[in-house]
């Protein structure tokens, strides 16, 4: 059963509550959250509380239960509640009230057990949402904040800058200087496309004199198809994209999942408005009328989009098509929806009222009801059943014709098979005497279910008589080979069939409207009251909850998801906009404004720049939910364009001393390449990268060490590499690519020896270092100095004879240009020359060295590997 993770941080926000000083302790603000976390399950949530004690109101506590009053205001020593807690009897189970929480309860009783306001006369059953809970920051209506007006607005280009600088100035900080052109070019190019600029692009940009060149660059990058490949990966993280089903050990393939991946790439490249993008993913099927036949491109796109709701782990097509597996898939789908769009970890409310956030148990199932007509565990569509064929009627007719031809060949094959078996049977029979032969023949020819016991025994003691199509090869390989010719012929004929493609879609069955029940303790075996579809109460003002009709009058489907998706983007939802812009900000800056991008609840972090967050969310909606507009706004700001280097000697402030973690953005955070960007950058640098968009996943394989690698020689970008849940590609995994169990809200950026070893010794880096060295040797003849400080070094000859044949000096310069987009410094240049010449002499003297590679190329390969393992390669300034 699903289980909440109850972090230890509870006490922290409670202590923060006390620390407010003159604010008196009240039931609603200070005490109720503790009781809700520890006690309400038994003493409040149910109609008949345990021991008759209901803790949901102060006056209920005073009244008490079967054992008398729970508290005596002003008298902690006389309060039974405290006694029970202190002795550890309550709450039962492992999770106890902390010392801080206990003290707070005690203090509240001692100060008279005050409430913030008069308690209601009547209380609905269950746990209601209090005014205090509604005050929480992330549930506040979204209002466009006014942009700060600063006396000293030095460096402010955009409203974003004003918000950031206003906060910086509070701490005596200001912006760092703008990064140099080359750094900006690299930063923006990798940020938007996930790939480095080419040396030609570097040269162009550096020689461009236009004052608008940075803005032009951003526009150019956003227009590149590579943009969709880079940013799709971000969205696929939260969608939980995988090419396999998970759940069962076989982790079966999802052959058509990639069409959803391609849909995401295409939509982002087209800058499809994000409200439309999400609407299609939540309810694209409701925009198309069944039956889903002879579909046009638009309809195909809508149906493909619903792949989002088909991303959850799903064992129902691979050996686990039971109620448990189905409900597991539904729960994971809800988790994907709530974490990606609502920024709430609603999973707790699957079993009981959420202990920290105002999400009642019923709310969870009402949200589930929105999806249940399509994810109906009583009338489940297995992965095979939910495929929609893209065959047109004409194609289907053509395919049927081909199958008719196949039938003819198959019949011929069958005749031949029977003849072959007969021939071998005769040979085997001839080894026996006449009488036995007859008996054996009769036994063999009698259908298996009609044989007498005697016949069965006879065949058992003479096993070689039991010739079948499967064992024919043991008797006569030539015959078996003949039969294979038929199979080949059939395969040939089938090639004439129009290729049948499918969509993995989420659809409803017309007229099938299941009733959703609340599950007691989240257990599907214990369904309780029926619930109707509705959004979470907390996402709307009191009394104005978004409830959805059970069935739409205008659509063949129930219309629940369509209504929900439209409501999400009406502009009044407190969470969706904030959650989305927060995540986009995170991808640009390596950290989010709300550090827990999928938890905007009580246990999540507070925003570092709340007004900026709100401003961005409002702007996003006002600009028609255009993600590319948001990129422009962010990337054109001063805060984005700052240098990432801190140089106290050069600057007017000591950022490192005041804000060492750079939480306030006084410089651009340095970001380590994400796993995919590193994989792709290595490919691009070695010159191998293929630019082809879309298509079925690139296969992976297991090497002898059990390590997962890309199969064959594919040079496609990592986004096209198959995502098998149980077999993450080793290089990607070691650089923090997610293991897709559900979805990934935020990637860590780890620094461990594993990664060092990958870059020192793995086949991937070794192979591409060699391609890089070969590319350098091939192209070095035309190397030109980049227009930047540090002129091209004078190409001194080095003594080694071999080196004179290959222009090493030029190669070094080109290697630097390809890896870093800059000239080597004089020091670096000499050190590299020195490294090459040392290595060449070691190799030349080593009689055991590999003979298939010249010492010069080997040494250059080593240098290239070092460049691709270096921090300058791994990090974006």
Partner 1 sequence: MFGNHSRREFLTQNAMGVGGTALAWLLQQEQLRAKPASVVGASAVPDMSPRRPQFAAQANAMISLFMHGGPSHVDLMDPKPELSKYSGTEFQGDIQYSFVKRASKTLMGSPWKFKPHGQCGTEISELLPHMAGIVDDLCVVRSMHTGFNGHEVSIRYWHGGIPAVLGRPTLGSWVTYALGSESQDLPAYMVLTDPGGAPVDGVNNWTNGWMPPLFQGTVLRPQEPRILNLQPPAHLKGKLQSKNLSFLKKLNRKHLERHPEEADLEARIASYELAARMQVAATEALDLSDESNSTLKMYGIDQPETKEYGTRCLLARRLVERGVRFVQLFLGGQPWDNHNSIRTSLPAICRKTDQPAAALVLDLKQRGLLDTTLVHWGGEIGRLPVTENQGDAEKAGRDHNGQGFSCWLAGGGIRGGMTFGETDEFGHRAVVDKVTPNDIQATILHLFGIDHRELTYFYNARKQQLTDGRNCRVVHELLPNIA
Q: Does 88 bind partner 1 (CB under 8 A)?
A: no
Write out the H or E segment, with its range, that includes residue 414: helix 393-429
Q: Does 871 bind partner 1 (CB under 8 A)?
A: yes
The tokens of 119 are what? 């308690």
Largest CA distance in the chain: 115
What are the backbone dihedrals phi and psi of residue 33, each rounded to the nearest 5 degrees, phi first? -60, -35
Q: Does 3 bind partner 1 (CB under 8 A)?
A: yes
Given a contact cutoff of 8 angstroms between Cβ atoms, the answer to whether 626 and 633 are in contact is no
Least CB distance from residue 793 to partner 1, whole Å? 16
Cα(757)–Cα(760) distance, integer angstroms: 5
The tokens of 404 are what? 């008719």
Q: Does 7 bind partner 1 (CB under 8 A)?
A: no
Q: Which one of 408, 411, 658, 752 is in contact with partner 1 (CB under 8 A)?
A: 752
Given a contact cutoff of 8 angstroms between Cβ atoms, the answer to whether 709 and 703 are in contact is yes
In total, the chain counts a number of residues equal to 877
Cα(384)–Cα(537) distance, integer angstroms: 36
Q: Does 650 bind partner 1 (CB under 8 A)?
A: no
Span near partner 1 by CB under 8 A; candidates 148-156, 615-623, 682-690, 839-847 = 839-847
Which of 166, 160, 205, 144 is closest to 636 using CA atoms? 160
Q: Does 463 bind partner 1 (CB under 8 A)?
A: yes
What are the backbone dihedrals phi and psi of residue 698, each rounded to the nearest 5 degrees, phi first? -75, 130
Span near partner 1 by CB under 8 A; candidates 146-154, 304-312, 579-587, 847-855 = 847-855
Given a contact cutoff of 8 angstroms between Cβ atoms, the answer to whether 373 and 514 are in contact is yes
Q: Which one of 525, 749, 804, 805 is in contact with partner 1 (CB under 8 A)?
A: 749
Task: Report the residue number, 170 or 871, with the smaller CB distance to partner 1.
Answer: 871
Residue 387, beta-bridge partner list: 504
Near partner 1 in 693-732, by CB under 8 A: 702-708, 727-730
Task: Report the residue number, 452 or 702, with the smaller CB distance to partner 1.
Answer: 702
Cα(18)–Cα(9) distance, integer angstroms: 15
Task: Report the residue number, 529 or 754, with the smaller CB distance to partner 1.
Answer: 754
Which of 409, 189, 387, 364 is closest to 292 using CA atoms? 387
Q: Does 756 bind partner 1 (CB under 8 A)?
A: yes
Task: Report the residue number, 5 or 16, with the smaller CB distance to partner 1.
Answer: 5
Q: Does 489 bind partner 1 (CB under 8 A)?
A: no
Near partner 1 in 658-697, by CB under 8 A: 660, 670, 672
Residue 708, beta-bridge partner list: 702
- Cβ burial 41-73 (10 Å sphere, 16+ → b, else e): bbbbbeeebbeebbbbbbebbeebbeeebbbbb
The tokens of 815 are what? 């290697």
Task: Report the residue number, 426 or 492, with the smaller CB distance to partner 1.
Answer: 426
Given a contact cutoff of 8 angstroms between Cβ atoms, the answer to whether 486 and 496 are in contact is no
Question: Reduced to 3 DSSP states, what percent helix, strand and coil does the chain have, rounded to the nearest 5?
Answer: 50, 5, 45
The tokens of 548 are what? 């959805």
Span near partner 1 by CB under 8 A; candidates 18-26, 357-365, 771-779, 850-858 = 850-858
| For residue 291, cis peptide bond before it (omega within 30 degrees of 0) | yes
Least CB distance from residue 478 to partner 1, whole Å? 14
Span near partner 1 by CB under 8 A; candidates 26-34, 67-75, 787-795, 858-866 = 858-866
Task: Report the residue number, 395 or 736, with the smaller CB distance to partner 1.
Answer: 736
DSSP 481-544: HHHHHHHHHHHHHHTTSPPP-EEE-----TT--PPEEEEGGG-TTSEEEEE--B--GGGS-TT-
Q: Does 785 bind partner 1 (CB under 8 A)?
A: no
Which of 608, 614, 616 is closest to 666 using CA atoms? 608
Q: Does 869 bind partner 1 (CB under 8 A)?
A: yes
Task: Report the residue number, 14 or 731, with the smaller CB distance to partner 1.
Answer: 731
Given a contact cutoff of 8 angstroms between Cβ atoms, the answer to whether 373 and 508 are in contact is yes
Q: Which one of 317, 347, 601, 738 is in contact with partner 1 (CB under 8 A)?
A: 738
Write out the H or E segment, with its range, that includes residue 285: none
Distances (CA, A) of 725 to 246, 254, 317, 575, 679: 6, 11, 16, 30, 19
Q: Does 475 bind partner 1 (CB under 8 A)?
A: yes
Cα(216)–Cα(755) distance, integer angstroms: 36
Which of 363, 282, 340 is closest to 563 using CA atoms? 282
Q: Which one of 26, 193, 299, 858 is in contact with partner 1 (CB under 8 A)?
A: 858
Q: Which one of 596, 605, 629, 762 is in contact with partner 1 (CB under 8 A)?
A: 762
Least CB distance from residue 400 to partner 1, whole Å? 38
Cα(155)–Cα(152) distance, integer angstroms: 9
Least CB distance from residue 802 to partner 1, whole Å? 16
Site string for partner 1, 816-835 (x = CB under 8 A): ---------x-xx--xx--x
Given a contact cutoff of 8 angstroms between Cβ atoms, the answer to whether 814 and 826 are in contact is no
Least CB distance from residue 858 to partner 1, whole Å? 7
Q: Does 761 bind partner 1 (CB under 8 A)?
A: yes
Least CB distance from residue 52 to partner 1, whole Å? 34
Q: Does 872 bind partner 1 (CB under 8 A)?
A: yes
Least CB distance from residue 604 to partner 1, whole Å? 18
Q: Does 432 bind partner 1 (CB under 8 A)?
A: no
Q: Does 464 bind partner 1 (CB under 8 A)?
A: yes
Least CB distance from residue 30 to partner 1, whole Å? 31
Given a contact cutoff of 8 angstroms between Cβ atoms, the answer to whether 579 and 342 are in contact is yes
Near partner 1 in 373-392, by CB under 8 A: none
Span near partner 1 by CB under 8 A; candidates 258-266, 299-307, 466-474, 574-582 = 466-474
Span near partner 1 by CB under 8 A; candidates 347-355, 446-454, 788-796, 866-874 = 866-874
Given a contact cutoff of 8 angstroms between Cβ atoms, the answer to whether 746 and 732 are in contact is no
Span near partner 1 by CB under 8 A; candidates 456-464, 518-526, 591-599, 711-719 = 456-464
Near partner 1 in 308-327, by CB under 8 A: 324
Least CB distance from residue 815 to partner 1, whole Å? 12
Task: Report the residue number, 165 or 832, with the smaller CB distance to partner 1.
Answer: 832
Least CB distance from residue 347 to partner 1, whole Å? 11
Cα(240)–Cα(745) distance, integer angstroms: 9
Q: Does 644 bind partner 1 (CB under 8 A)?
A: yes
Least CB distance from residue 731 to partner 1, whole Å? 9
Near partner 1 in 232-251, by CB under 8 A: 249-250
DSSP 22-51: SS---IIIIIHHHHHHHTTTTTTSSSS-GG
Least CB distance from residue 130 to partner 1, whole Å? 30
Handedness of CA 487, 492, 497, 503 (dihedral sign): positive
Cα(827)–Cα(824) distance, integer angstroms: 8
Q: Which one of 839, 856, 860, 876 is in contact with partner 1 (CB under 8 A)?
A: 839
Cα angle at 160 between 154 and 164, to 5 degrees? 65
Task: Report the residue number, 300 or 729, with the smaller CB distance to partner 1.
Answer: 729
Q: Does 843 bind partner 1 (CB under 8 A)?
A: yes
Least CB distance from residue 321 to partner 1, whole Å? 15
Q: Which one of 403, 741, 789, 796 is in contact with partner 1 (CB under 8 A)?
A: 741
Least CB distance from residue 423 to partner 1, whole Å? 14
Q: Does 461 bind partner 1 (CB under 8 A)?
A: yes
Q: Does 803 bind partner 1 (CB under 8 A)?
A: no
DSSP assignment letter at 522: G
């Amino acid at each position: 059963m699903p289980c909440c993770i109850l972090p230890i941080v509870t006490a922290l926000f409670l202590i923060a509550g006390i620390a407010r000083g003159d604010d008196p302790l009240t039931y609603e603000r200070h005490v109720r959250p503790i009781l809700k976390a520890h006690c309400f399950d038994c003493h409040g949530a149910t109609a008949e509380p345990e021991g008759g004690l209901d803790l949901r109101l102060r006056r209920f506590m005073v009244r008490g239960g079967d054992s008398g009053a729970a508290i005596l205001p002003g008298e902690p020593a006389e309060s039974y509640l405290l006694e029970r807690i202190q002795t550890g009897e309550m709450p039962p189970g492992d999770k106890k009230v902390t010392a801080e929480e206990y003290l707070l309860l005690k203090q509240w009783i001692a100060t008279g057990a005050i409430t913030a306001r008069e308690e209601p006369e009547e209380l609905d059953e269950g746990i209601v949402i209090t005014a205090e809970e509604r005050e929480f920051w992330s549930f506040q209506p979204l209002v466009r904040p006014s942009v700060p007006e600063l006396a000293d607005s030095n460096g402010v280009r955009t409203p974003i800058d004003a918000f950031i600088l206003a906060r910086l100035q509070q701490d005596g900080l200001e912006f760092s200087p703008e990064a140099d052109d080359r750094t900006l070019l690299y930063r923006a190019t990798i940020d938007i496309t996930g790939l480095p600029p080419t040396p030609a692009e570097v040269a162009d940009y550096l020689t461009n004199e236009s004052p608008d060149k940075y803005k032009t660059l951003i526009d150019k990058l956003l227009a590149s198809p590579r943009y969709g490949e880079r940013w799709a990966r971000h969205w696929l993280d939260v969608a939980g994209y995988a090419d396999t089903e998970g759940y069962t050990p076989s982790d079966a393939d999802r052959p058509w999942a990639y069409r959803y991946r391609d849909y995401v790439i295409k939509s982002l490249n087209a800058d499809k408005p994000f409200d439309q993008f999400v609407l299609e993913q939540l309810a694209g099927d409701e925009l198309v009328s069944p039956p889903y036949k002879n579909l046009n491109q638009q309809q195909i796109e809508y149906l493909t989009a619903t792949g989002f709701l088909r991303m959850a782990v799903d064992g129902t097509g691979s050996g686990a098509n039971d109620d448990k597996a189905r409900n597991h898939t539904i729960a994971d789908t809800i988790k994907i929806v709530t974490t990606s769009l609502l920024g709430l970890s609603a999973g707790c409310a699957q079993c009981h009222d959420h202990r920290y956030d105002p999400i009642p148990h019923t709310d969870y199932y009402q949200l589930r009801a929105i999806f249940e007509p399509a994810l109906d565990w009583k009338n489940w569509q297995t992965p095979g059943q939910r495929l929609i064929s893209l065959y047109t009627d004409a194609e289907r007719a053509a395919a049927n014709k081909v199958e008719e031809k196949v039938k003819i060949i198959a019949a011929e094959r069958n005749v031949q098979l029977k003849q072959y078996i007969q021939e071998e049977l005769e040979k085997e029979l001839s080894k026996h005497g006449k009488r036995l032969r007859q008996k054996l023949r009769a036994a063999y020819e009698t259908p298996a279910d009609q044989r007498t016991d005697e016949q069965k025994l006879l065949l058992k003691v003479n096993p070689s008589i039991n010739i079948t199509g499967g064992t024919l090869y043991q008797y006569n390989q030539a015959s078996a080979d003949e039969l294979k010719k038929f199979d080949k012929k059939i395969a040939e004929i089938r090639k004439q069939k129009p290729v049948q493609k499918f969509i993995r879609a989420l659809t409803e069955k017309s007229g099938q409207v299941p009733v959703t029940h609340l599950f007691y303790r989240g257990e599907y075996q214990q369904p309780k009251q029926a619930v109707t579809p509705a959004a979470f109460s907390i996402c709307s003002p009191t009394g104005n909850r978004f409830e959805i009709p059970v069935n739409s009058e205008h659509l063949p489907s129930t219309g629940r998801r369509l209504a929900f998706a439209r409501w999400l983007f009406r502009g009044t939802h407190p969470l969706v906009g904030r959650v989305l812009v927060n995540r986009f900000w995170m991808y640009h800056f390596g950290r989010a404004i709300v550090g827990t991008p999928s938890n905007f609840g009580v246990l999540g972090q507070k925003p570092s720049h709340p007004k900026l967050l709100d401003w961005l969310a409002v702007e996003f909606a006002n600009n028609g939910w255009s993600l590319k507009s948001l990129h422009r706004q962010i990337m054109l700001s001063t805060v984005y364009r700052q240098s990432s280097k801190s140089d106290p000697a050069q600057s007017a402030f000591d950022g490192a001393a005041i804000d060492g973690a750079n939480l306030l953005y006084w410089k651009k955070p340095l970001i380590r390449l994400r796993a995919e960007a590193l994989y792709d950058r290595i490919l691009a640098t070695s010159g191998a990268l293929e630019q082809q968009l879309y298509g079925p996943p690139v296969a992976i394989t297991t090497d002898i060490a059990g390590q997962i690698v890309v199969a064959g020689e594919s040079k496609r970008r990592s986004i096209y590499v198959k995502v098998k849940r149980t077999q993450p590609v080793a290089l990607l995994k070691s650089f923090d690519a997610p293991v897709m169990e559900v979805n990934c809200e935020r990637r860590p950026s780890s620094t461990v020896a594993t990664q060092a070893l990958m870059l020192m010794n793995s086949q991937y880096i070794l192979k591409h270092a060699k391609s890089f060295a070969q590319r350098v040797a091939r192209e070095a003849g035309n190397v030109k100095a980049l227009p930047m400080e540090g002129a091209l070094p004078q190409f001194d000859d080095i003594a080694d004879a071999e080196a004179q044949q290959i222009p090493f000096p030029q190669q070094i310069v080109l290697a630097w240009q390809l890896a870093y987009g800059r000239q080597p410094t004089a020091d670096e240049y000499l050190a590299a020359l020195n490294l090459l010449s040392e290595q060449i002499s070691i190799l030349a003297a080593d009689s055991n060295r590999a003979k298939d590679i010249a010492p010069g190329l080997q040494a250059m390969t080593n240098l290239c590997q070092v460049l691709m393992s270096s921090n300058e390669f791994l990090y974006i300034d």
